[in-house]
Amino acid sequence: MQQGYDCVFGSRFCRGGKIVDSSLKRKFISWGGTLATNLLLGTKLSDMTSGFELFTRPALEAVLNNGIRSRGHFFQTEIRVFCHHFRIAEVPICYRSASPSVNNSAIEDAFSNLWRMTRKRFAGTLWNSRISLPSQQLWMQKSP
């Protein structure tokens, strides 16, 4: 944050990051979710689903003012999508899985929310909020 970043996200998939004590299925779901989100929503992070997040106050306020609709694990991905135009750093983390299983309802929720956000992106309404950070005069205007 001292280098001027608005957001810092942990990544299991960047150089130095790793996943331990986790099933191959869980690793594949995390990696696949990141790939799908980057392709469909235009983000470019190496890990869209990790829980390590650090924000400046203005960045977090801008994200929360935009409104997070996801209620399951996908909320972490949705937050990162709304940080798309901020100054972002990724740092390596070591993730130890709390459970080897993957909840099917969480996967269904993630696909549902990814599809919702993809439709909004291609309709031109995903970035429908005015987002302003004092540090970088970034404005995104509402569509008429």
For residues 112-130, give the mean pLDDT.
85
For residues 43-48, give the mean pLDDT.
95
Of the chain, the percentage scoring pLDDT greater than 90 comes to: 54
- Distance between CA atoms of 144 and 59, rounded to whole angstroms? 25
Half-sphere exposure of 103 (CA within 13 A, CB side): 9
- pLDDT tens digits, one per residue of 68-120: 888 888 999 999 999 988 999 999 999 987 666 678 888 899 999 999 999 99
Q: What is the pLDDT of residue 132?
A: 55
Q: What is the pLDDT of residue 77?
A: 94
pTM of the model: 0.82
